[in-house]
Amino acid sequence: MSAILHQISYKIISIVIAFLSVFGYSGNYLKADSSQWNTNYKYVFVHGLMGWGYYDTSYKFMPYWGMFGGDLMEYLDDKGFDCYAASVAPTSSAWDRACELYAQLTGTVVDYGEAHSKKCGHDRFGEDYTGNALINEWSEKDKINLLGHSFGGATVRLFASMMETGSAEEKAATKDSELSDFFKGGKGDWIYSVTSLAAPHNGTTAYCSSEGEDEIGAYDTAAYDMYIDNAFALNKTIITYKNTYYFSIACDATVQNEDGTYSPVKSKMESLFISSSEEMGSFTGVTNGGYVIDESWQKNDGLVNTNSALAPSDAPSTEYNADNVKAGIWNIMPVYNGDHMSLQGGLLKTNDVKDLYVEHLGMINKLKKNTAVKHR
């Protein structure tokens, strides 16, 4: 079964079995020490492929963030954080999803851009969020923190980049009076931090076969953006902004075999991902663009290669050091021992990640408050 079918399957399964679930919290969890915080900006969580958020009815029955372990947003709110789950198109490109996220955060009509919509052959405007914004305040003073799971990682990276740079193509194609503020740029300091969670920064071999990369026709899709060559191309359009903090958490649920390949740890891996994990764990090859996929790509979480989730190609990065966290560089957190859904809370294998998020969000709140330099 292909990676796309795996993801569609778990969405269908999750909605169906949601009606049988009973949510609640049990046990003792980490307490957030707000006395050490320098900030408490809002946290906006962005789902991955086939995901859902607050604007989707299915979230009421099965929260994407938390799954059977209970609504993670609700739990983190109770700990003193201010968290929100965005809803972007389940299979659309990073560009389209970023435009939708902007409209939700600002309470405006989705504008996919004059140039982009013509190029991709779809309507320029989408859903109207007027009077129904996800958050009530957002500015350079009232910044936000972004967290993106899986393809949500590409979404928030592109989104944060465009907040600073805007889009030269859209500026050239659109009258200034009709140009969305999103495409104007100059708002990089509205984003305090970006965290990617099991994100295919550099694509994934889940879309490769033993004979090389498969072909795909539509290019305005998440699937297209996650092909390795296309992911590298997307990365070249995304900046790492000097005043924003960046963090990445990759996952690994495999074990190395005697022949050097990797196999899924079945006690850690959702059954939906086992076959794709096995294929990824032994795959090597060359992309259509000539990139060599070697053995370093074989560790995986079932859908994303562990090394791809560490940091975007060409972006500055370093291993996370609690005593020296800097803005403008990807701080690579320790690899999490779990499969692709583990950072959501798991599905059939429920995974408690409450303490992980309390620690991570608390760490972000302890960082320096005034990171911004005078804007050019």
Tell me whether residue 197 is in a domain: yes
Tell me whether residue 108 is in a domain: no
Tell me whether residue 28 is in a domain: no
Tell me whether residue 328 is in a domain: yes
For the residues 115-130, what does the mean pLDDT come to?
A: 97
95 Cβ contact list (under 8 Å, min separation 6) = 112, 113, 116, 158, 220
Give me the pLDDT at residue 219, please: 86
The pTM of this model reads 0.91
3-class DSSP state of 240: coil
Contact between 332 and 320 under an 8 Å Cβ cutoff? The reply is yes
Tell me whether residue 124 is in a domain: no
Which domain does 69 fall in, by range? 3-12+36-102+133-164+182-365
Mean pLDDT of the chain: 90
For the residues 304-330, what does the mean pLDDT come to?
A: 97
- How many domains does the chain contain in total? 1
Give me the pLDDT at residue 28, please: 60
Q: Which of 97-111, 214-228, 317-331 has the lowest mean pLDDT?
A: 214-228
In 212-370, where does DSSP find H-type helix?
A: 222-225, 228-235, 274-280, 354-365
pLDDT reading at 3 higher than 70:
no
CA-nearest of 175, 195, 147 to 47 is: 147
CA-nearest of 227, 219, 223 to 202 is: 227
3-class DSSP state of 68: helix
Tell me whether residue 173 is in a domain: no
d(CA 200, CA 215): 18
pLDDT bucket at 15, cuts 50 / 70 / 90: very low
Tell me whether residue 254 is in a domain: yes
Alpha-carbon distance values, 133 to 36, 125, 136, 155, 251 (Å): 30, 17, 7, 19, 32
Q: Each residue of 319-362: pLDDT tens digit?
A: 999 999 999 999 999 999 999 999 999 988 899 999 999 999 99
pLDDT bucket at 2, cuts 50 / 70 / 90: very low
3-class DSSP state of 184: coil
Q: Each residue of 265-276: pLDDT tens digit?
A: 999 999 999 999
> Residue 63's domain is classified under what CATH number?
3.40.50.1820
Give me the pLDDT at residue 370, please: 59
Tell me whether residue 22 is in a domain: no
% of residues, the chain, pLDDT over 90: 84
